[in-house]
Amino acid sequence: MNKLVGFAILVALMIGFPCFVRANDDPPERQLANIDAKQRVADDDITIARFRSLLDQLSEAFSMRKQDIADKTVVIQQLLRKEGVEEKMLNMMEGINRIFPGRAGDWKYDTILAYYATFRVKGRSHSEAIEGIVAVVRLAESGR
């Protein structure tokens, strides 16, 4: 089996299952900020507010719980790291939020994350991955 196909299947399976990355009762925005910083951030750290805003927007766009978005984003970051790709979750979420600034329609967050991971593992930069997802979304919506 092609390594990329195997990776895509792994991504689809991993984000399809609930994960339990919570080690404490911190809200998801703090969990993400701590994980991205690789240490506990200060209560007034700006990334907590940014993650909170992104979680609000993405949970509205994709009709998902904030914790589920946080969990799935962590899983993708971990999978990317295993493949040698380092990316901040803040960047991933901001990129996806720019693609879907309102309602995401029939698009699933899991699907968008799988596209993102696949593009990155194929050697694309963050910006190229986001552009690739935009192209996929446009192509799919033009065929409707």
Domain boundaries in the chain? 3-142
Task: With CA atoms as reference, report the closest residue to 95 among 49, 132, 68, 46.
Answer: 132
| 73 pLDDT more than 70 | yes
Q: HSE of 96 in the Cβ direction (CA atoms, 13 Å)?
A: 30
Mean of pLDDT values over 43-58: 98
* pLDDT of 82: 96
The predicted model gives 51-55 an average pLDDT of: 98
Predicted confidence band of residue 143 (pLDDT cuts 50, 70, 90):
confident
Are 23 and 71 within 8 A, CB to CB?
no
3-state SS, residue 21: coil
At 20, is the pLDDT very low, low, confident or very high (cuts 50, 70, 90)?
A: very low
Higher pLDDT, 21 or 134: 134
